[in-house]
Amino acid sequence: MRIFRHIADVPAAFKGAVVAIGNFDGVHLGHKALIGEARRLADERSAPLAVLVFEPHPREFFRPGAEPFRLTPFRIKAHLIAELGVDTMFALAFDAEMAQRSAQSFVLDVLVDGLGVGCVVVGKDFQFGKGRAGDTAMLSYMGEMEGFGVVVFEPVTVDDGGKISSTRIRAALKAGRPQEAARLLGHPFAVEGRVERGDGRGHALGFPTANMRLDGHMRPAYGIYAVRVAVLEEDLVVCRRDGVASLGIRPMFESPEPILEAYLFDFSGDLYGKHLSVELIAYLRPEARFAGLEELKAQIEKDCQAAKAALK
């Protein structure tokens, strides 16, 4: 999948594309269905299939000091979208200039003159332009005037009738329900990052852990999880292991920032500097403070058995 950061860089071969537009945080089942509809239209037209996103996420631009909320930082999002067979991603900068761009300018200058879209596919609640002044009715009208198609895709619902949304998935993760989040995502929620050196306490206890910061990821419920871990090299999985992980601030040691510490079952080797993807499969228990290291070690052994049972 080709990624373009500027509208001026788009080659003629990618003009006339069918473009799915959205934030696509999480690339959940609703997003996949919308992109699937764009793929169907692209096949009908023998046109390229593209996705248009903004980086940073507009919410990050308008609330720069807020707690991280993203289900999928850009690297993970791009990987998941590429797996859907998308030809190109337009990852346009959401900066002060974009925030001030009127709805009419977004259509004329970005979609028409910049990207030369042949058709766009958007969700029913899609809004755009300064102050979110543009909506699907305006987009459809301007598309008719400017000669590109507009398809408004209905939200995807689940068995309870509720709409699949990134907000709902975040709420499930905050409540310690990773299975529910996975059902809505269509895949387990994962934290990706590089393994950093920790304080060595896990190794001293007989449970060496791979320590990762949560940079760019939302904060799920703090506690102990059954996990599946993939070791990545150049985006390729070179090793998979089940494991147990602590996510949070470690009450006994009072970490200044939340971290993810994963203990991989049946693994020996050096993971420092490696890139891991840690899938949260089941929530086992909240964080806790223990009377001493022996009590903590005994609890870790119990957590390992609980994780193995949950992962069967």
Looking up residue 270, the CATH number of its domain turns out to be 2.40.30.30
The residue range of the domain holding 275 is: 187-311
Residue 53 included in any domain: yes
Q: Minimum mean pLDDT among 25-29, 33-37, 247-251: which range?
A: 247-251
Q: Minimum mean pLDDT among 168-172, 234-238, 293-297: which range?
A: 234-238
Per-residue pLDDT, 291: 85
Are 134 and 259 part of one and the same domain?
A: no
Q: Minimum mean pLDDT among 85-99, 127-141, 204-218: which range?
A: 204-218
Q: Predicted confidence band at 123 (pLDDT cuts at 50, 70, 90)?
A: very high
The pair of structure tokens assigned to 17 is: 């594309």
Domain count within the chain: 2
Task: Please measure the distance between the N-terminal and C-terminal CA atoms of the chain and give it in whole angstroms.
Answer: 35
Per-residue pLDDT averaged across 289-311, rounded? 94
Query: pTM, whole model, 2 decimals?
Result: 0.92
User: pLDDT (tens digit, 9 = 90+) per residue, 48-58?
Assistant: 999 999 999 99
Are 255 and 206 part of one and the same domain?
A: yes
Q: Minimum mean pLDDT among 26-35, 41-50, 156-165, 223-232: which range?
A: 156-165
Per-residue pLDDT, 235: 79
Per-residue pLDDT averaged across 173-184, rounded? 97
User: pLDDT (tens digit, 9 = 90+) per residue, 63-115?
Assistant: 988 999 999 999 999 999 999 999 999 999 999 999 999 999 999 999 999 99
Per-residue pLDDT, 197: 83
Residue 35 included in any domain: yes
Are 103 and 53 part of one and the same domain?
A: yes
| Domain end residue (candidates: 132, 153, 174) | 153
Give the C-alpha separation, 252 to 205, whole Å.
14
User: pLDDT (tens digit, 9 = 90+) per residue, 212-265?
Assistant: 999 889 999 999 999 999 999 887 888 999 999 999 987 766 777 899 999 999
Residue 125 included in any domain: yes
Per-residue pLDDT averaged across 269-285, rounded? 94
Are 97 and 222 part of one and the same domain?
A: no
Q: Give me the amino acid identity at 8.
A: A
Are 133 and 212 part of one and the same domain?
A: no
Q: Examine the pLDDT at 205 and tell me if it is beyond 90.
A: no
- Give the neighbor-by-neighbor strand order of the sheet with 236-248: 190-194, 275-285, 223-233, 236-248, 259-264, 210-213
Are 91 and 205 part of one and the same domain?
A: no
Answer for the pair 174, 224: CB distance below 8 angstroms, yes or no: no
User: pLDDT (tens digit, 9 = 90+) per residue, 5-23?
Assistant: 999 878 999 999 999 999 9
Across all residues in the chain, what is the average pLDDT? 94
Give the C-alpha separation, 201 to 304, whole Å.
17
Are 106 and 206 part of one and the same domain?
A: no
Answer for the pair 80, 118: CB distance below 8 angstroms, yes or no: no
Q: Predicted confidence band at 270 (pLDDT cuts at 50, 70, 90)?
A: confident
Residue 162 included in any domain: no
Residue 174 included in any domain: no
Are 138 and 205 part of one and the same domain?
A: no
Q: Predicted confidence band at 200 (pLDDT cuts at 50, 70, 90)?
A: low
CATH of the domain at 38: 3.40.50.620
As a dihedral over the C-alpha atoms of residue 251, residue 253, residue 255, residue 259, rounded to 10 degrees, the angle is -80
Give the C-alpha separation, 189 to 221, whole Å.
13
